[in-house]
Structure formats: structure tokens, C-alpha cells
Amino acid sequence: MVAEAGHDSAAQLTAPGAELRIGVMQGRLSPRPAGKLQEFPQKYYAAEFPIAARLGLHSIEWIFEAPGFAENPLWSAAGREEIRGLIRATGVKVQSVCADYFMVHRLAGEGGEAVARSCDVLAELVVAAHAIGADRILLPLLETSAVDTPVLQREVVASLKQVAPVAERYGVTLGLEMELPGAEYARLIERVASPQVRAYYDTGNSTAQGADIAEDIVPLLPLLHAVHVKDRVRGGGSKPLGTGDTNFRGFFPRLLRGGFRGDLVLQHYFDLQPELEAERSLSFVQHLLESARAEAA
């Protein structure tokens, strides 16, 4: 993996659970896009790095989406050099890439030629991620790209098996985010049989599906690479952290008892004050971790 200059941030905790690093989804430190919660912040992405550094965030999760993907800095040599410069200047890493591209160009359910093209793009994205020092790509297998039938699950397993050797070669984990119960979620990952294909759990999305995340996460703990920290209501949308139905109080102690040593990435609801709302979200998670450490002691 490409090493990047930088330093560990204030979010690198120093007691039990010290290995847990806290990052933020790209765009959460920029003005919210009209009519949506998330998109690649073309005008603001560079400005987010010094903001993240001021807040003490370890990393930014870069968005790679289908609209305008060829203009995304991650997709060109010059753009990747710019990203590496931002990392060097601020110490804020790009540890992961959120590949929303595959919610449009799916890895299953599209027909052979289309799926093959998507697999080719994913393989190229692995190389691009590695070039900026990222060691994880989030694959959101949910909503339009959900794999909620046996046929779709067979197809996505085949796609992942095709790309897994490239991920293994470059040391980039493919983190699957799915809307499946924890035990079924784990079985699908195990079918791929690659150390670089693991779980990327979303606390809010699983809550919205009706799960108690403190129990749902248990079968995934041996496979868990990272967590999106989000709050939602059951059957509904996102809320500021601590105001929805997500069982954070049960979830974080379970993570620590299970030996989780991956990353936490804020994907919190935000509205008019992105920097302030990110600061509050970071503080919320840090306090939860402190409580969980005390409970585990």
C-alpha cells in the first residue's frame, strides 16, 4: 500500500479500543446538495481536508459515483496526485472510497456484458484507491443494487470472485454494505472466500430494516472491516446521531467486546451547519466509545 505523510489525529483514541479511528463521509463538511444528502462535492472537496484536520478526524471517505465519474479526481493520474497533496498538507487520509457508482452500474442483475464492464471498473478502482493510500472500497449492495434474491446473490458472489484477486494483489478490502440480516450477510461474504472481501456495516440502514444492531452485528464481527455511524428510525430516514432508533448504547460495547479494530466513518444526517454538525457527531461517538470502554473494563 502507498504510504502517505501525516500524523495520527485526535480521533485516534488512546485507551482500550485505541485502534479505532474515526473518519467522515466526503460531503459532510460541505454545504448540503439541494434535494439530497450525499453526492461528490466537486466544488468543495479540497476545502474539506483542512476542516477535517481542525476537527481531529482521521480520514475522509471519498465518493466515487456514476454521474461525472470520469471527472472525479480519483479517476485520473493528475487528480490522484492532487489528492495525495491534500493528504500530505493536512495529515487527513483518504482511507476508503464509497463506490456509489455500483448502485447504477450494478455487479448483479444487469446481464453478462454490463456486469463484466462493472467488474472491470471495480478492478480499475482498486488500483486507483491503492494509489492514494486507501485500503478499502465500500460496495453499497442496497436499494437499487440490493442482492435480496438467491439469483442476485449468486451473481454478485461471482462478480466479487472475479475482482478479488486484484484486491488481494493491491491490499484493498472490498467492504460490502447490505440490507440483509447479520447471519445471512456473513454467509454471503464467506461464499466469496477472499480475505479482502469483508463486511462494512451501516448502523442506520440496519436499524431502518428493523434490526437491533447490537445483536445483528454478532455474526459479522469476525468479518467486520469498518462501520458507517448513522442514526435512522425504523422504517424511515436519517436523523442526527442520538435522535433516531439506532441502538448505539448496545452496539459499541458489543464492538469492543468482539475485538473490533477497524474504522468508524461518520455518515450522519446534516443540514445547515456542516462543520458544527460534524463536530457534534464526532463528540457523540467519542463519548459512546468512552462509555463502552468503561463498561468493558
Please give the single-letter amino acid code of residue 5: A
Cell of 172: 484493498
The C-alpha cell 438467491 sits at 150
Residue 75: pLDDT over 50: yes
Cα–Cα distance list, 76 to 70, 81, 110, 132 (Å) = 8, 9, 27, 11
Minimal CA–CA distance to 9: which of 47, 45, 54, 51? 54
CA–CA separation, 161 and 156 (whole Å): 8
pLDDT band at 17 (very low <50, low <70, confident <90, very high): very low
Q: What is the mean pLDDT of residues 71-80?
A: 98
Provide mean pLDDT across the span 33-60: 95
Question: Residue 283 pLDDT more than 70?
Answer: yes
The pLDDT tens digits for 171-181 are 999 999 999 99
Domain ranges of the chain: 21-296
Mean local confidence (pLDDT), 187-197? 98
* 21-296 homologous superfamily: Divalent-metal-dependent TIM barrel enzymes (3.20.20.150)
Say what the pLDDT of residue 296 is: 74
In tens, the pLDDT along 212-232 reads 999 999 999 999 999 999 999
Distance of alpha carbon 284 from alpha carbon 109, whole angstroms: 39
How many Cβ atoms from other residues are within 10 Å of residue 99's Cβ? 26
Residues 6+ apart with CB under 8 A from 284: 241, 242
| Cell representation of residue 199 | 463486511
Residues 72-85: what's their mean pLDDT?
A: 98
First-last CA distance in the chain: 35
Question: In Å, how far are 28, 65, 103 from 98, measured between CA atoms?
Answer: 13, 8, 11
What is the structure's pLDDT at 9?
37
pTM of the predicted model as reported, rounded to 2 decimal places? 0.91
pLDDT tens-digit map of 269-280? 999 999 999 999
What's the pLDDT at 34? 86
> Quick one: pLDDT at residue 25?
98
Query: In the beta sheet, which residues pair with residue 200?
Result: 226
Q: At what angle do helices 77-90 and 45-55 cross, to 10 degrees?
A: 20
**DSSP-derived 3-state class of residue 267:** coil
Distance CA 77, CA 91 (A): 21
The mean pLDDT of the chain is: 92
By C-alpha distance, which of 196, 74, 61 is closest to 124? Answer: 74
Confidence of residue 14 (pLDDT cuts 50, 70, 90): very low
Distance of alpha carbon 146 from alpha carbon 179, whole angstroms:
7
Mean pLDDT of 246-273: 95
Predicted pLDDT at 19: 64
Helices (H), 94-221: 112-131, 150-170, 182-192, 203-208, 213-216
| Mean pLDDT value across residues 59-65 | 98
